[in-house]
Structure 1
Amino acid sequence: MDEQALLGLNPNADADFRQRALAYFEQLKISQDAWQVCAEALAQSIYSDDHIKFFCFQVLEHQIKFKYSELTEVQQQLIRETLITWLQAQMLNPQPEKTFIRNKAAQVFALLFVTEYLTKWPKFFFDILSVVDLNPRGVDMYLRILMAVDAELVDRDVVHTSEASYYFALTFEARRNTLLKDTMREQCIPSLVESWYQILQNYQYNNSELTCQCLEVVGAYVSWIDLSLIANERFINMLLGHMSVEVLREEACDCLFEIVNKGMDPIDKTKLVESLCQVLQSAGLFSIDQEDDVDFLARFSKLVNGMGQALIASWTKLIKNGDMKSAQDTLQAIEAKVALMLQLLIHEDDDISSNIIGFCYDYLHILKQLSALSDQQKANVEAIMLAVMKKLTYDEEYNFENEGEDEAMFVEYRKQLKLLLDRLAQVSPELLLASVRRVFNTTLQNWQTTRFMEVEVAIRLLYMLAEALPVSHGAHFSGDVTKATALQDMMRTLVTSGVSAYQHTSVTLEFFETVVRYEKFFAVEPQHIPTVLMAFLDHRGLRHTSPKVRSRTAYLFSRFVKSLNKQMNPFIEDVLNRIQDLLELSPPENGYQALLSSDDQLFIYETAGVLIVNSEYSAERKQALMRNLLTPLMEKFKVLLEKLMMAQDEDRQMALADCLNHAVGFASRTSKAFSNKQTVKQCGCSEVYLDCLQTFLPALSCPLQKEVLRSGVRTFLHRMIICLEEEVLPFIPSASEHMLKDCEAKDLQEFIPLINQITAKFKTQVSPFLQQMFMPLLHAIFEVLLLPAEENDQSAALEKQMLRRSYFAFLQTVTGSGMSEVIANQGAENVERVLFTVIQGAVDYPDPIAQKTCFIILSKLVELWGGKDGPVGFADFVYKHIVPACFLAPLKQTFDLADAQTVLALSECAVTLKTIHLKR
């Protein structure tokens, strides 16, 4: 072997050496006999370096995986002998191999197993067992090989290239794996199970590592072998014995979980679970101590969850089969586990609690199906409810300012608890409402002296009721009088108690989330609106010390105002005055940190727009207010644009361009209050927006930071097409001309939807403009598409693909809007060029989305031009190019019918042929 190249296998080697080692590996993979050198190195223990040994196994792995069928009988025999020789050496070596080498060796053994077991090596396991006997190192390898074989047979992830080959590989592997498992069940599984029993018996007291490994193997195989081989007295007694041994009990728990999880007859399953429970209970495992080892309790909780869900699955099947007597017995068995379930659910460790939620959820599902609940069942429901309320509470350690992994896990855990709460509401909505009301009222009476987590959870529970007790369109305050009264009372308490002033971000945020969730309350009791508005607008909300609170409040305030626009009229001017300072555009040079980020300011501008537009003021007053809102933006924009033109430093240019972009974005956002031109006209605001347009358009001719500026102005134009309609049209030609200058793929890709919007909306009105700019736009597109790019530059290739799609989407819009004359009037040579690009798109590019669009364009053109009075030469083009394209495209190797988009492309291809048939 190339000793120099092997030096690069060391993780500490420099980049050149590592690169050389990588190249050497690739060379050995394609070499005919390099694997033999590696086999010899392993069999004779030539190298002591761990990384070289690992490397040799990798070469063998590649040979078995991809080139095994090319080997002769003798060579295949050599690989078998190499592995057995290496295995024998493991028991004699003074030091065991590193774990990563043993795992890789086990993978290679497993690959050879799936390749040879059915044909050439039926004694695979017997040969391994005869070598390892009960030698600890040999047993370790034997167990690792078993786990690797299970991974091949059960967890197999096929590396796939395309959907079709993936499907084929999957079905081939699935069939092969089924055959392997069937053959193993017949020929060797009983012997393997016996070997596991012997290993457990020999090592349970003196080698916990091997015992745990063996338990893991039993747990893995139990899902697909005959359960009676494991679920019998001698095995179960041994496993239950392990439950009392500290170093073994976690693995024993997992193993029992797999046994319980195995599909079987419902009556047998109930008997199995009950017999396990009796022994576990008599061993004292059913009384949970908070001080117990949490790692074990997490596994034990998973086991109890598995037993509970297994019993519930049995109950469901028995009910379905009409066996009421057995179903009743199983229900009693389930009820007997509820006390244990509650102990685990309420455990202070969230992992332990989380593991039992499935059982709890399914148990509530059973209760929901019963016609009446017994007193004990009602008590269980209440106990679960109290447990959920307690567990929803934040810990003292929760870091609100810098949320990390632990915090993210608690948020996920809370989502699971919410599902339980929703299920509780289905079982007993009255009880849930009464319990939440009790907790809420007690807490809010003394909120000043109560810990933040208790106040937060009280408000959170009220918030959660909105989803737990569903109604249509949030009408919580009408209909059922009891519920409406309870929720109304709690909301009144929430907004009048003063709890919005609580000095903790979690309580503040929960307050605002809840008032917005129950906005319909303020339609019933509008007298509370001023109180809540003040909370939003002062130090509790938009001026809070926490940026996180300010940011979320900006969004919630926008939602609150939108939902209550009918009730906002008396407060509009006051609110607009109070938010004035929050609307200021912060130029980069003023140096102070604004209260709100530009993203948050978007919501404030939208809110201001909504307040003005939905007010009961006259059109003149609305226009004046809108002008007051937008004029400062326009003035600042002009000043900043001049500064940008003169700026030399690139960082400063970027900062100024961002600020200009924000100004345009804020103006765009105010227009969201309008649904169409009619509403803009009614408010007398057309003139203000036209002024904005005239102010912003000069930015398009700025040679600096083009991408940022163009992006902002484009978005504004999109909005104005909706709000001002044809009043925008005079500005489009010059804007388009600027946007087509020095543009890149991304610019064009974003510009085309604007032209599509104009074309689809105004159709023949914009025909002259489209005819004028059609070829300049196409030249710009072709110029970018023809730019050379590096072969492996993925992002450039993707940008070109997206631009190509946008180009075809533009042609589709033009033809689909009944404006084919725009293309026809471009001169014969240009028309032909355009048509050939569409044919090329339909056939040559392996992009089914573009292909589908191209066939839509072709069928539309055939429909419009395919008759007797179509353009000269088009009939020829149909037969010489369109018809062949319809057959060439599906014949391409890249035309993958396992892909949904390709099927749609084929469908459009068929439509094109049908249209030709009808027209010709």
Structure 2
Amino acid sequence: PKGLNLLGLNKSISMPFVPQALAYFEQLKESQDGWEVCGEALAKGIYSDDHVKFFCFQVLEHQIKYRHGSLTGAQQQLIRETLMKWLQLQLMSTQSEKPFIKNKAAQVFALTFIMEYLTVWPKFFFDLLSLVGLSPHGLDIYLRTLMAIDAEVVDRDILHSPEETRRNTLIKDSMRENCIPALVESWYQILQTYQQSNSELTCQCLEVVGAYVSWIDLNLIANDRFVNLLLSHMSVEELREEACDCLFEIVNKGMDPVDKTKLVESLSQVLQSAGFFIVEQEEDVDFLAKFSRLVNGMGQALVLSWTKLSKMGDVKVAAETLRALEAKVPLMLQLLIHEDDDISANIVGFCYDYLHILKQLPLLTDQQKNNVEAVMLAVMKKLTYDDEYNFENEGEDEAMFVEYRKQLKMLLDRLAQVSPELLLESVRRVFTSTMQNWQTARFMEVEVAIRLFYMMGEALPASHGAHFTGDATKSSALQDMMRTLISSGVSEYHHTSVTLEFFETVVRYDKFFIVEPQHIPNVLMAFLDHRGLRHSSPKVRSRVAYLFSRFIKTLHKHMNAYIEDILSRIQDLLELAPPENGFLALLSNDDQLFMFETAGVLIVNGECPADRKQALMRSLLTPLMEAFRLLLAKLTQEADEERQTALADCLSHAVGFASRTSKAFSNKQTVKLCGCSEVYLDCLQTFLPALSCPVQRGTLRSAVRSFLHRMIICLEEEVLPFIPAASEHMLKDCEPKDLQEFIPLINQITAKFKSQVSPFLQQVFMPLVLAIFEVLSRPAEDNDQTAALENQMLRRSYFSFIQTVASSGMNEVMANQGAENIERVLFTIIQGAVDFPDPVAQKTCFIILSKLVELWGGKDGLVGFPDFIYKHIVPACFLAPLKPTFDLSDAQTVLTLSECTLTLKIIHLKRGLEFVQFLQQEYLPSLQVSPEITQVLDQGDISHGKIS
């Protein structure tokens, strides 16, 4: 055809993915008759190049998807003929097309079917079947088309519009009525004909049956001839996995509970008599994983039937269903205990649901108790790591095992609900025997024994010993196990998994040490020596740093005798690691944060006098301050940028560590009461010079600013003398992010100290405002999204600052800025309320306007402010909601409207009748509002917010 030859394509050309070719096919899609050119090329088989054929189908797909409605009857007929002619070519060809072309062709067939089946092509399937007969090439396309139709019409994972959903329902109804029996017959013929000679086609057909069974009449599939055929496929190596999936879909179909039980039972009997229940003889793990999924589906189907029948009160049939279900439990247990985790994981759902049934029964039979114990032993065995698990470099296999362990934990929790005594006894037995022989046991046995003990804390209700009591007569099983864990010496075991499990369990059951504090020294030594913080594995050291901080927080009241010993033992772990090459610190910076917090908790909560606490805190923080001064001096002299960054990070960590120690203080143990104010004021004095450092400003400012936030909380008014100088430095050479992060600090000071900081705020107000104006006025690229977002966030911060000042009862801060400055600020608030389509900022602006009207809008308010109300605030309240960007379907915008209305109400409250007259006589007429409407307004309307 002329169109394709424009590119000089010939039958044998191998067409590369060149931009010209892609652009050309895009042109063909958009042109009026391009699809006809492509259709003819496909129908006549002109091109052998796979990419050309694929693109031709794409052009047809585009036409059907987006322009089908505008085609004439003859053009629609041409598309149908094109597809059938292309299919006919496949029947005559000795070679099959590539899968990607067949899939695209199937998509085009499916799209055509969706568009035309209900109207002009009701015989779609009959035409297709009569053409392809039993030709394997033709059936391949037919089956792919059925899967493509399933994806478009049935697949529940794809979102459809209401219109598409209605159309799909009509298509399925029509198919059920007119052609499903014929399709099912065709599937049977394919499965029977090709089960020996063409496994690929047979598997495709099984996939189709599995997909369609969810919405067609089940009796067409769940009958002797079909099921027997499927079961015969279960014995063919190439077919059995797909046959398993197909049977799973049949079992999964929604049905009446009695019918479902019958179906599962008949399937079960046939599978059992065929020898499939003898799992240990099967070596193919891939098949067993599919079979396990099938058994899981059968089991869950019976559980669902039993639940429905029990609710209906059908006791006899429910009991029969339970018997059928329990008959599957031995098979379930074989699969659960299988050494392959995929096989085991696929049966967990059935196992979980079965335990849920047992939980609901008033009394368990001996057999049911045995089943519970068997599940328990299986879970304990399957929780165990295998030799291949790579603890040093965990990859995908390790991640899958961790997920699988989570499923097993769910089973363990469910076992605890069914029989807590039995579970506790079993775990205790395993734990005790393992702890007696831990020196000779393999690491995975020791780890899982401690792990099971750890899991009891969550699994068992408190009434079964998950808590510890001081009463010796009531000493719980968990208390005995904790004693064994600590005294057995197992913390010396040389495997990271055991070490970590030991510390995790000690911290999980830290309340034990409140009851038996005599064990604290032993455990403290484990934390502090080669078993914990000095372990050879960085992973262990890191986790132990965190766990140690939790342990100390819980038991700080019992640490008094050990405080100074602990502090001296961890001293080297509290050193600031200098940014020298080759220096490997034992702990990372994040881990050190936990260590500083722990040290702080020990000092603050000790029973020693305040001067001793001060001395300890000073010895903790002085090395940080000294290191900080040295590093800051180095940084100012350093020219190399990489080295500057390393030094700045180190300085930032020093500030962070000092800050973290302050987390130990509380309302009862304040900095002042502990005598530590002076130490933290020294820290402030040491850290503040970093604000004027000419390099690495972002890192340093951020660290010092965070420290100031903490000190405002901890030191209260003692911090105030430092704020002016700090602010001055932070306002120099600002970036949007600097300002945005500085404003919350000022807001915190304003909200906390109010009138105490009024002189400072009056002084800093305009410099801060001008710095913000300067940053916001900087030119930016039109499409620079980052700059636009930074400016938006800075504007929000600015308005939040004005709101904080206005709401803190310090109207003198703004009132004393001079008329010109006040006017500038007020205009920015009006602008924020009206001009920027940012409802968060708009809402804040109307809150500010309300507050200012309240403060200055009365008879004795700010000179000239009433005039500003009428000229600017009132119009803002009308103009903002009239903006096309004011979207009332957005929740924030609705809140903005509410604040806007409130502003009008407060203006009315302050100005009374004068305001009503202004609206009636001046403002509303200027908006061309008719006199009838303006005269209807009364004061009640405004005071109730009806004006909006």
Q: Is the 8 A contact 1:158 1:170 kept in 2?
A: no
CA–CA distance in structure 1, aligned partners of residues 61 and 388 of structure 2: 48
Deviation at 1:530, TM superposition (A): 0.7
Bigger mean CA deviation after superposition, 817-826 or 563-572: 817-826
Matched to 1:516, the amino acid is V
Kept in 2, the 8 Å contact 1:665–1:712? The answer is: yes
Deviation at 1:887, TM superposition (A): 4.0
Amino acid at match of 1:148: A
How far does the alpha carbon of each residue in 1:41-93 deviate from its partner, in whole angstroms, 9 at most, with x for none? 33333433323333333333333333443444444443333333322222233
| Deviation string, structure 1 residues 91-132 (Cα, Å, up to 9, x no partner) | 233422211222222223223333333333333323322332
Verify: 1:118 aligned to 2:118, yes or no: yes
- Change over 3 Å in CA distance of 1:630–1:277 after alignment to 2: same
Matched, 1:916 2:904: yes
Query: Residue 259 of structure 1: CA displacement?
Result: 1.0
Instruction: Name the counterpart of 1:668.
Output: 659
Q: Aligned in 2, Cα 1:365/1:659: closer, same or farther, shift over 3 Å?
A: same
**Amino acid in structure 1 at the alignment position of 2:209:** V
Match of 1:314 in 2: 305
Question: 1-side partners of 2:131 and 2:774: how far apart?
Answer: 70
Unaligned ranges ≥5, structure 1: 160-168
Q: 1:598–1:710: structure 2 CA closer, same or farther, 3 Å change rule?
A: same
Counterpart in the other structure of 1:345: 336
Corresponding letter in the other structure for 1:526: P
Could you tell me how far apart the structure 2 residues matched to 1:224 and 1:172 are?
A: 20
C-alpha displacement of 1:346: 0.2
Amino acid across the alignment from 2:680: Y
Does the C-alpha gap of structure 1 residues 821 and 277 become closer, same or farther in structure 2, counting only changes over 3 Å? farther
Aligned residue identity for 2:874:
Y
Picking from 483, 508, 512, the partner of 2:499 is 508
Distance apart, 1:225 and its partner CA:
1.8
Deviates further, 74-83 or 617-626: 74-83
With 851-860 and 721-730 compared, the bigger mean Cα shift is at 851-860
**Contact 1:846–1:895 (CA under 8 A) maintained in structure 2:** no
Please report how far the alpha carbon of residue 510 of structure 1 lies from its aligned counterpart in structure 2 after TM superposition: 0.2
Residue 273 (1) aligns with residue 264 (2) = yes
Q: Could you tell me which residue of structure 2 aligns to residue 189 of structure 1?
A: 180
The match for 1:906 among 894, 898, 902 is 894
- Map of 1:87 onto structure 2: 87
- Decide whether the 8 Å contact of 2:888 with 2:894 is kept in 1: no
Q: Tell me: CA distance 1:422–1:158, structure 2 relative to 1, closer, same or farther (3 Å).
A: closer
Give the Cα separation in 2 of the matches to 1:483 and 1:170: 63
Match of 1:736 among 705, 727, 732: 727
2:326 matches 1:335:
yes
1:182 to partner: Cα distance: 2.3
Shift of the alpha carbon at 1:451? Answer: 0.1
In structure 1, distance between residues paired with 2:820 and 2:36: 64
Q: Look up the match of 1:297.
A: 288
Q: CA separation in 1, counterparts of 2:906 and 2:126?
A: 71
Distance 1:732 1:260 in 2: 72
- Which residue number in structure 2 is paired with residue 895 of structure 1? 887
The reply to whether residue 874 of structure 1 matches residue 869 of structure 2 is yes
Q: What CA distance in whole angstroms lies between the structure 1 residues aligned with 2:626 and 2:825?
A: 45
Please state whether the residue corresponding to 2:671 is helix, strand or coil.
helix
CA gap of 1:231–1:409, structure 2 versus 1, over 3 A, is same
Match of 2:485 in 1: 494
Structure 1 partner of 2:598: 607
Pick the aligned partner of 1:217 from 208, 215, 224. Answer: 208
Give the equivalent residue in structure 1 for 2:705: 714
Distance 1:323 1:393, change over 3 A: same
Contact 1:476–1:484 at 8 Å: present in 2 too? no
Contact 1:222 1:259 in 2 (8 A): yes
Q: Distance in 2 between matches of 1:682 and 1:700?
A: 30
Deviation at 1:882, TM superposition (A): 1.7
- Residue 337 and residue 157 in structure 1: after superposition, are their counterparts in 2 closer, same or farther (change >3 A)? closer
Return the offset for 1:570. 0.4
Q: Does 1:440 align with 2:431?
A: yes
Query: For the residues of structure 2 that align with 1:800 and 1:3, how far apart are their CA atoms?
Result: 55
Moved more, 667-676 or 150-159: 150-159
Instruction: Say if 2:835 and 2:880, in contact at 8 Å, map to a contact too.
Output: no
Which among 230, 238, 258 is matched to residue 229 of structure 2? 238
- Structure 1's 697 and 120: CA in aligned 2 closer, same or farther, altered over 3 A? farther
Structure 1 distance, partners of 2:820, 2:241, is: 78
SS of equivalent residue, structure 2 residue 328: helix
2: CA distance between counterparts of 1:6 and 1:618?
95
Question: Which residue matches 2:692?
Answer: 701
Aligned-partner Cα distance in 2 for 1:412–1:784: 50
Provide the rounded CA distance (Å) in 1 between the counterparts of 2:471 and 2:224: 57
Q: Taking structure 1 as reference, are residues 85 and 854 closer, same or farther at Cα in structure 2, changes over 3 Å only?
A: farther
For 2:879, give the aligned amino acid: P
> Unpaired segments of 5 or more residues in structure 2?
909-948
Q: After the TM superposition, which residues 525-564 of structure 1 pair with which residues of structure 2 at under 5 Å, given as runs?
A: 525-564=516-555
* SS of 1:386 mapped into structure 2: helix
Amino acid at match of 1:654: T
Q: Which aligned pairs between 1:505-654 and structure 2 lie closer than 5 A?
A: 505-589=496-580, 591-654=582-645
The Cα offsets for residues 181-209 of structure 1, whole Å up to 9 and x where unpaired, read as 22322232222222212211221121111
Structure 1 residue 263: deviation in Å? 0.9
**Structure 1 residues 428 and 445, CA gap change in structure 2 (3 angstroms):** same
Cα distance 1:689–1:499, how it changes in 2: closer, same or farther (>3 A)?
same
RMSD over aligned Cα atoms: 2.8
Q: In structure 2, what is the equivalent of residue 145 of structure 1?
A: 145
**Whole-Å separation in 1 of the counterparts to 2:907 and 2:765:** 28
- Aligned-pair CA distance for 1:796: 3.9
Going from structure 1 to structure 2, the CA distance change for 1:330 and 1:614 (only over 3 Å counts) comes to same
Structure 2 CA distance for partners of 1:564 and 1:177, relative to 1, 3 Å: same
8 Å Cα contact 1:674/1:680 also seen in 2 = yes
Given that 2:15 and 2:49 are in contact with CA atoms closer than 8 Å, whether structure 1 keeps it comes out as no
1:293: how far off?
Answer: 0.6
Separation in structure 2 between the aligned mates of residue 305 and residue 661 of structure 1, nearest angstrom: 55
The offset of 1:753, in angstroms, is 2.3
Task: Give 1:387's match in structure 2, choosing from 378, 390, 406.
Answer: 378
In the alignment, what sits opposite 1:727? 718
Q: Is the 8 A contact 2:834 2:879 kept in 1?
A: no
Q: Which moved more, 1:731-740 or 1:581-590?
A: 731-740
> Normalising to structure 2: TM-score of the pair?
0.89
Q: Distance in 2 between matches of 1:36 and 1:690?
A: 83
Q: Secondary structure at the match of 1:651?
A: helix
Candidates 879, 904, 924, aligned match of 1:884: 879
AA at the equivalent of 1:379: N
Displacement of 1:496 after TM fit?
0.7
Count of aligned pairs: 898
> Is the Cα contact below 8 Å between 1:676 and 1:723 reproduced in 2?
no
1:261 aligns with 2:252: yes
Q: Report the more deviating stretch, 845-854 or 711-720.
A: 845-854
- What is the aligned partner in structure 2 of residue 54 from structure 1? 54
Tell me whether 263-272 or 397-406 shows the greater mean CA deviation: 263-272
CA distance in 1, matches of 2:7, 2:826: 55
Residue 230 of structure 1 deviates from its aligned partner by 1.5
CA contact (8 A) 1:852 1:906 kept: no
> Does residue 78 of structure 1 match 2:78?
yes
Cα displacement (A) at 1:845: 5.0
Shift of 1:709: 1.1
Name the residue aligned to 2:100: 100
Any idea what SS the aligned residue of 1:564 has? helix
Q: Distance in 1 between matches of 2:68 and 2:182?
A: 29
* Structure with greater Cα Rg: 2
Task: Give me the whole-angstrom Cα distance separating, in 2, the residues matched to 1:583 and 1:530.
Answer: 21
- Note closer, same or farther for the CA distance 1:810–1:85 as it changes in structure 2 (3 Å cut): farther
| Residue aligning to 2:197 | 206
Can you list the C-alpha shifts for 1:672-711, whole angstroms capped at 9, x where unaligned? 1013596110011111111111111111111211111111
Superimposed CA distance per residue, residues 396-415 of structure 1 (whole angstroms, 9 cap, x where no aligned partner): 00000000000000000000
